[in-house]
Amino acid sequence: MENFLIKAAPISDILPGLIHAFNTAGIETASLDARLLVQHVAKLTHSEFIQHKALVLSDTQSETLSDLVRRRLKREPISRILGHSEFWSLPFLISKDTLDPRPDTETLIEHALEKIGPRKNEPLRLLDLGTGSGCILLSLLHELPFATGVGADINPGALEIAQKNASQLGLNERAKFQKSDWFSTIEGKFDCVLSNPPYIPESELDELMPEVRHFDPALALNGGETGLESYEIIFDRAKEFLAPSSLLLLEFGQKQDTQLVEMLNKSNLKPYILNHDLESDLAGITRTLAVNLSF
Ligand SMILES: C[S@@+](CC[C@H](N)C(=O)[O-])C[C@H]1O[C@@H](n2cnc3c(N)ncnc32)[C@H](O)[C@@H]1O
């Protein structure tokens, strides 16, 4: 793998070797990944790539491509190699400090928008706990033209990226990012508190795919012994930060729904719950919890 070397040649001659190497390494998206890396190095859009397969990569481009292919063969995800990802059809920068945003998390955006419904043109205040790349807060601000929000994370490296994403999406004026251990530095009341906290039980971290285990930050994955430790804190303190009529929206892991609803019903939020409901992702896995509250 370390010796993988691509010689200057037309793209059409290079591709089959790349796809073969990726397939042999057990990479399921071999053809797509090969195309994306070649496109990146040759600076081609998808349609240009289709039209320019006879293009010959220069020596420098071939060397760069060899490096990137070696990284992919070590199971670094394409999004991390390219430094950006797509979420809610918007571009997001990512880094070693941020989770690579998952399509599953788009369920949280859908669920939030459904619950916010008729309030979508109000000047809502949003709080996104464990904001990472900022994908949840920024996607919602993109959809809610009068909303403002705070994205909080314990990792300053993630906050830097989230801030860059806000600038890139033209949302700087409506999004503020701040370092906080969950609610520790948060002030004020919010109409909607959202979070996709780390939820993998510590004992299961070693079973994750190499792309996740080795490249997503542990801080974004490790949910402690039960996987649900962050939710305990969120349920316990949310009351202080929720507006009189407000929403709490949480993403969680597979098969955590029953336990999470039990935790909610045992929490100090219980007397203020108007209703709650669960939403499933595209694979049919129950993924998000929305709680309507009145104080
Ligand atoms: C599962 S990731 C979610 C990132 C992003 N919101 C997303 O959905 O892609 C969890 C995030 O929680 C942050 N985090 C972990 N512990 C935290 C804590 N004690 N206080 C605040 N944020 C924390 C991590 O740094 C990480 O960015």
- pLDDT tens string 113-163: 999 999 999 999 999 999 999 999 999 999 999 999 999 999 999 999 999
Binding site membership of 155 for ligand 1 (Cβ less than 6 Å): yes
- Give the pTM: 0.94
Tens digit of each residue's pLDDT (9 = 90 or more) over 178-204? 999 999 999 999 999 999 999 999 999
Q: Ligand 1 centre from 108 Cα, in Å?
A: 15
Tens digit of each residue's pLDDT (9 = 90 or more) over 43-76? 999 999 999 889 999 999 999 999 999 999 999 9
Among 178, 219, 236, 237, residue to substitute to test ligand 1 (most atoms within 8 Å of Cβ): 219
Question: What's the CATH code, domain 84-294?
Answer: 3.40.50.150
Report the nearest-CA residue for atom 8 of ligand 1.
196
List of E strands, 173-285: 175-179, 190-195, 242-251, 273-280
- In the prediction, which pLDDT does 2 show? 58
Phi/psi for 192 (5° steps) reads -145, 120
Domain map (residue ranges) of the chain: 11-74, 84-294
> Given a cut of 90, is residue 7 above it in pLDDT?
no
d(CA 125, CA 123): 7
Binding site membership of 110 for ligand 1 (Cβ less than 6 Å): no
Q: 126: closest CA among 247, 269, 236, 237? A: 247
Q: Which atom of ligand 1 is nearest to the CA of 128?
A: 6
Report the nearest-CA residue for atom 26 of ligand 1.
220
Q: Ligand 1 centre from 130 Cα, in Å?
A: 3
